[in-house]
Structure 1
Amino acid sequence: MAGDPAHPDVIYRDDRCFVVRDINPQAPVHLLIIPNMPINGLDYISPAMEATMGHIFVVAAEMARREGVTLSGYRLVVNNGAAAGQTIAWPHVHLLGGRELGAMG
C-alpha cells in the first residue's frame, strides 16, 4: 500500500500525498497520510522535502475537519524505527481521533 496513490482505498490524494484508513485502527478515526515521494525513513528527509512534509500536516488538518474531530481533538503520530513502533519503512503520519486518547508516556 505505501507508495501506491492509485490504490482503491485512497480517500484523498493530491500531487504530494495520499490518505487511507488504517487497516488496524487504534481509534474510531485512524488515517494514514503518506507522501507520494519515496523516503526510506525520517533520517533521510532533506531540505528539498520540506514543502512536502509541511503539506502533509496541512492535509492532516483538513482530514481532521472532514472526519469531524477538530472540536474534540485528535493526535498526529509519526513513528521512526522499530523501537518506536514503525512497521513499514515508508514514513507516514497517523491521524487518530474520535475518542479520548489519554496522555502519552
Structure 2
Amino acid sequence: MISSCRTAEYSSKKFRSGSLSKIVVSGVVYDTSIDSVLPNAAIVIGDSVYWTGPNGRFICSLEEGNYKFSARHIGLEVITTEPFSLKKGDSLELNFRMRTDRTPLVD
C-alpha cells in the first residue's frame, strides 16, 4: 500500500502494482442514513459518470493523471475527494459514506 486516507465522508487506499498497464479505481458507496450500500449512485470523474450496481460497488479504468472523485445521489450530500495523482500500475480503493442532504430547497 502506498497511502491511505480516512475522513468522515470517504476513505481511500492507494496500491502499486507494476503489472497493471491501466489505473483501476473501485469502491463502495454507503448511505449512512439507512446503514446500507447505495445502488445507483453516480461517481463523477471529470466529464465521465460511472454508476454503482445493486451492491453499491463501482469500478473503472483510467489513464494517468490527477483526479478528483465525486459521489452523488438524489437527496444525499455530494462528496468530493481531494485530488489524487495516479500513475500506470496504481490501484485506488475509494469508499464513500453519504448522508442526507438537509439543505432547504427554498429559502
TM-score for both structures, normalised by structure 1: 0.31
Find the structure with the greater CA-based Rg. Answer: 2
Relative to its length, the structure with more strand (as a share) is 2
Q: Which has the higher contact order (CA 8 A, sep 6+)?
A: 2
